[in-house]
Structure 1
Amino acid sequence: MLCVSYSLIVLGQDLSDVFLYNFFGRTSYIVNIVLMVITGFFVNGPYALITTAVSADLGTHESLHGNAKALSTVTAIIDGTGTIGAAVGPLLTGLISPTNEAGWTYVFLMLAGAEVVGALFMIRQVFKELKSWRNKRKSYQLINEVDSDR
């Protein structure tokens, strides 16, 4: 499965949505709502996918095999990290956004920066996922070549 790779693509899409929201979100109330929903969709999607995929991946790891307590601890740490981000984000927003309108630009830059940092943390896993996917494709091609030779 290419869960992390898909999440990286969606984060890239959301990065552009954050900048669109910054520039066009104040044009009207309806545009603000639509862009907020789209941005929220593209932020929460990768988060939910990553927490699920990482938990499932760790659940099949041989070091945690049969140890439900260790698996639940790892899952709680992953979910707790997202919760910390949800708590710190509004705090930073309050500190960054002064009362003038230029302050919101800095808030959107903070959001974009957080997405870039998240993408950087996923790069290694994306390469691992793509390498695994490529090896599976090669093995399927070899099997098909052997079957066609018979």
Structure 2
Amino acid sequence: MVDLKMSESIHVAVAPDELYALVSDVTRMGQWSPICKACWWDEGDGPRVGAWFTGRNETPERTWETRSQVVAAEPARIFAWEVNDGWVHWAYSFEPDGDGTRLTESWEFLPKGIAGFHERYGAEAEAQIEQRSEAARTGIPATLAAIKKAAEA
């Protein structure tokens, strides 16, 4: 069975409020993520609960866009969104940690997403879900390292 939920943390030598301001600017995600190459807010929106944004993802096999809605936006505490109206949940949490912040990135493939993948991909659904899980497993530490590098620069 593939892992449908994972998270990883990293220490960043930046205060939680400053790091939150950086990470909650989804327009910067393309600078850090190995798959998400660009994000943009719906016109006039920003990092608040209920806000919508589009993300463009790229792998060697394909390019696709997703629609996401912010579901948590508590400065210096948590910033989270759901992809495709509840298919996948992504979150960043911020905890004071000595001279900086313990930044945790979390990913969860939700039941609605599992059902949606089975509807969309049929017999290939499990393989597609496994690909997404592997992308999160390798992408989370890469993204966290890139955020750390940018924040501490």
Q: Same fold (TM over 0.5)?
A: no
Larger fraction in helix: 1
TM-score (norm 2): 0.30
Higher relative contact order (CA 8 A, sep 6+): 1
The structure that is strand-richer by fraction is 2
Question: How high is the TM-score relative to the length of structure 1?
Answer: 0.31
